[in-house]
Amino acid sequence: MAMISTYCPHFNGLRRSSPKLDSSQSQSFLQHINSQLRLASSRKPCRAVTAMAGSGKFFVGGNWKCNGTKDSITKLVSDLNSAKLETDVDVVVSPPFVYLDQVTASLTSRIEVSAQNSWIGKGGAFTGEISVEQLKDIGCKWVILGHSERRHIIGEDDQFIGKKAAYALNEGLGVIACIGELLEEREAGKTFDVCFQQLKAFADVVPSWDNIVIAYEPVWAIGTGKVATPQQAQEVHVAVRDWLKKNVSEEVASKTRIIYGGSVNGSNCAELAKQEDIDGFLVGGASLKGPEFATIVNSVTSKKVAA
């Protein structure tokens, strides 16, 4: 729902050049962004603005990455099963492939299970890949696609990731769609360019946005201990929501949850959660600690207070 904010964005390091978008709506959007840049650079006092905050339920995902053993995951699942979690939060965890069956068989139904990747189409002679059909067969409800480690280490490009997302959605799996810029891209003023290009690759092919959660994860903050300030995260989330409004629809912009990832932990989650357009988190290392992950899930109470 829309809320009034006294937030005044400082788009430092986000954009210096306008992207080459096609539609007249896109051009209007760029004019809006440029006006915000001029406002920030003028150093005039901030004025109240209306921010279109998301209307979706708070969402927290735990990406366990390539971590864990049978014993450690048994302990983690036990901690999660006994944790007291706020009811108005969608909670998802994403174990390594080899432990998916173990987790789906033992984890409380309060928490859904996600895979960390999926293949671009139906299974077959694709050594090392996992199909959407196989993930659904063992009870997965979600899949993380486009994570920076898949983009920058494995080499997956925007179009390949978009096609994977489209296939997963068509087969009934929810998608946590990751976007985010490298440090050098932020320093070059290309944060918006990068994020919008990655968004467009999803928007060009997905059948619907109903089961998509967007995870903004600045690459320079993932696993580094460096966290985007609440204001830095909020300004990108606002821009992403505006992009959806201008390039997809106002309804999609309002309903689609935009979550933040990048060294989120039990100490910083409350301040981040207070930001209007941060609809939850995708958590890395802290999701391997049951009590701390519960603290992050329960940070939704900070959003209630802020509202």
**Contacting residues for 139 by C-beta, under 8 A, at least 6 apart:** 104, 113
149 classed as catalytic:
no
Helix (H, G, I), strand (E, B) or coil at 228: coil
CB environment 4-22: b (16+ within 10 A), e (fewer): ebebbbbbebbbeeebebe
**Amino acid letter at 190?**
K
CA distance 226 to 7: 22
Tokens read off for 229: 């300030």
Helix (H, G, I), strand (E, B) or coil at 198: helix
**Amino acid letter at 247?**
N
Choose the catalytic residue: 147, 181, 185, 292.
147
10 classed as catalytic:
no
CA distance 122 to 119: 7
Residue linked to tokens 């306008």: 18
Name which of 270, 166, 286, 275 is nearest 216 in CA terms.
275
Choose the catalytic residue: 112, 181, 185, 217.
217
CA distance 14 to 235: 9
CB environment 227-250: b (16+ within 10 A), e (fewer): bbebebbbbbbbbbbbbbbbbbee
- The residues annotated as belonging to the active site are 147, 217
